[in-house]
Amino acid sequence: MKQIITTLFCFILTSSKLFSQSEISTVDIRNFWNAYNLLETARTKADSVLIFQTEYFNKATQANKKFIKLRKFTAEEVVNVIQRYPLYFSSIKDNSNKIDSQVEEINKYLSKLAEILPGFSPPKICFAFGCLRTGGTVSKNTILVGTEMITADSTSIFDELSPWLKSVVSKTGDITPLIIHEAVHTYQKNKYTKDLPSTIIKEGFAEFVTCNLLMLDNNPVLHSYGNKNECSLWKSFISDFKNGITDYSDWVYGGSTDENRPADLGYYIGLKIIEEYYLNSTDKSEALEYLSDCDNYGLIFKSSKYNGNCK
- Is the domain of 170 the same as that of 207? no
Mean pLDDT of 94-114: 95
- Is the domain of 183 the same as that of 252? no
Query: What pLDDT is recorded for position 112?
Result: 95
- Is the domain of 177 the same as that of 47? yes
CA 64, 69, 70, 75 dihedral sign is positive
Mean pLDDT of 283-288: 94
> Which is more confident, 218 or 157?
157
60 and 68 Cβ atoms separated by less than 8 Å: yes
- Is the domain of 138 the same as that of 196? no
Question: Across all residues in the chain, what is the average pLDDT?
Answer: 91
- Is the domain of 53 the same as that of 154? yes
- Is the domain of 180 the same as that of 31? yes
Contact partners, residue 256, CB within 8 Å, separation at least 6: 163, 164, 167, 250, 262, 263
- Is the domain of 148 the same as that of 195? no
Does residue 116 belong to any structural domain of this protein? yes
Query: What pLDDT is recorded for position 140?
Result: 86
Query: What pLDDT is recorded for position 16?
Result: 36
* Tens digits of residue pLDDT in 12-39: 433 334 446 789 999 999 999 999 999 9
DSSP 189: B
C-alpha–C-alpha distance, residues 276 and 270, integer Å: 10
- Is the domain of 207 the same as that of 290? yes
Task: Give pTM, 2 decimals.
Answer: 0.88
Mean pLDDT of 32-59: 98
Indicate the number of domains in the chain.
2
45 and 71 Cβ atoms separated by less than 8 Å: no
- Is the domain of 181 the same as that of 43? yes
- Show the beta-strand stretches assigned E in 140-286: 142-146
Range of the domain at 272: 191-303
Does residue 158 belong to any structural domain of this protein? yes
C-alpha–C-alpha distance, residues 214 and 226, integer Å: 20
Strands in 136-139's sheet, in edge-to-edge order, are: 24-25, 124-128, 142-146, 136-139
Q: At residue 176, does pLDDT exceed 70?
A: yes
C-alpha–C-alpha distance, residues 241 and 235, integer Å: 10
